[in-house]
Structure formats: structure tokens, C-alpha cells
Amino acid sequence: MKIITIANQKGGVGKTTLSFNLAHTFAAKKGTKVLAVDNDPQGNLTSSFLKNQDELTGNIVNVYNEKKVQPEWINKSLALLGSNTNLAPVAERAYPIIFKLREYLETQQQDFDYCFIDCLPSFGCLHLAALNAADYVLIPIKPAPYAFGGMKEFFKTLETIKKYHNPTLEVLGIVINQFDGRNPIMEREMEEALREIYGKKVLKAKINKRIKVEESPAFQKSIIQYDPKGKSAEEFKVLTNEIMKRLRNGN
């Protein structure tokens, strides 16, 4: 199982929507099993999968409480380890809590091909646990002012984590997300600057901001289910193929 944490210390870059749709597009590949992990107490990823969060059975809080828990199957190829506000107090616990998620995911290695972890933007124990558990980090970025400052800080964080906790962690790529076209000149300039600074780390595929992408989770449907012939569905398929190619080639 390849474990991919989708993270950025800056909020509002579309981490959860990206996690939700990539979990679905990967699981749509024949013979592939995917585990989606909601490591955010807000539980937005969980609510994208489940209409009623009170019915959640596979709750990640049990991982941190060292209780037995099994992921909840959404369909035959996709399972969820979900979250709700019960996870919030975990962030205040002592330092060793950061190792619990990694230990748990080791027990799931034989059941899944890929794991996507969605995490909260603020740095702390839960954020650190998600990066400590990962083989790769996928970084969504919105082409907007102040984005570069957040990226510099995040890369500093990754270097610290690699030095002290997870030396094999690799950057899988940077995804330009929520490209909305309202200020095309500025957005193109931001994209060009990103590619100049970070080079091949920036994925060729990018995701445009569209209403259907934003509204589909409210119906517990990915974009490939909600609008299968639309442009956004095609963009996520292209992004999925590019990520898979990187994973096959050892990034």
C-alpha cells in the first residue's frame, strides 16, 4: 500500500475535495483497492462519503485510542476511515500520539493498494501524524497571492519531518488546484512562477474550479459519478494517470 498524505499548511486550497475525488478515481481502476483516511476533526471528507456521519463505524479516533477498528467499505474497491469532532482532543495529547496512525496503517498493508490521508491545515500532532505515516505528500496549491510564502514554510516543515521522523518521505508533486480563470493573467503568472521555482515537482495536470466539483460532495458523489462526461471528470482522470505514473516510476 502506497500512503499519500494530501497536505498544505495553508487552508482553502481544496485538500478535501482533492482527497475525495482522487480516492474515487484511483478506486475506479480495475483491481485497485483504496483506503481514504479523514484525519481532520471537522470530518469534511467523511461527510463527503456518508450522508449521516452518526452512522460512521470506522472512526479514526479509535486508532489514536488504541482500540480495534476496521475501515468502512463504501463500495467493493473503496473504504473509509472516517472522523468527527471526537478526534479534536487527540491534538492536545502527548508527543507519542504521532506514531499511532503509522502503526495502524501497517496493519492494513495487505488489504489496500493506495491510501489517501486528508489532514487539517494547522500544524500540530494530527498534521504531524499524517506526514509521519506517509510515503508521499501531495501538495495542492491555489494560484493566488501569498501562496508562495505558505509553500516555503511547508517545505521547511517537510525537511524537519524527514530529519527527525520520516526520512523516506517524498514529495509526490504539487497540484495546481482551483484554477478559476477570473484573473487569468495573474493565475498564469503564478503558474509560470511555480513551475520555474519547483520544476518537475509541479504536476502537468491541473484542476480548474467549477461549480459541479464543489457541489458533488454534498450528494456523496465524486465528480466522475456526478458529471462523468464533464471537463472536471476528465481533469481528475488525467491527474490520476499522471500520479500513478509517478508512483510506478518511483516518483
Q: What is the pLDDT of residues 87-129, one digit of tens each?
A: 999 988 878 899 999 999 999 999 999 999 999 877 789 999 9
* Inter-residue contact 97 to 68 (CB < 8 Å): no
* Inter-residue contact 41 to 91 (CB < 8 Å): yes
Decide which of 171 and 142 is more confident. 171
For all residues of the chain together, what is the average pLDDT?
92
Is the pLDDT assigned to residue 55 strictly greater than 90?
no
Is the pLDDT assigned to residue 251 strictly greater than 70?
no
pLDDT of residue 150: 75
Give the residue among 122, 111, 109, 145 at the shortest CA–CA distance from 33: 111
Mean pLDDT of 156-179: 92
Is the pLDDT assigned to residue 250 strictly greater than 90?
no
pLDDT of residue 39: 96
pLDDT of residue 186: 82
Mean pLDDT of 45-50: 96
pLDDT of residue 238: 97
How would DSSP label each residue in 63-130? HHTT----PEEEETTEEEEB--GGGGGGGGS-GGGGGHHHHHHHTTTTT-SEEEEEE-SS-SHHHHHH
Interval 61-93: pLDDT, tens: 999 999 999 999 999 999 999 999 999 999 888
Interval 8-38: pLDDT, tens: 877 777 899 999 999 999 999 999 999 999 9
Report the percentage of the chain scoring pLDDT > 70.
97
- Name the CATH code of domain 2-248 (choices 3.30.450.40, 3.40.120.10, 3.40.50.300, 3.40.50.720): 3.40.50.300
What pTM does this model have?
0.94
What is the three-class DSSP state of 177? strand
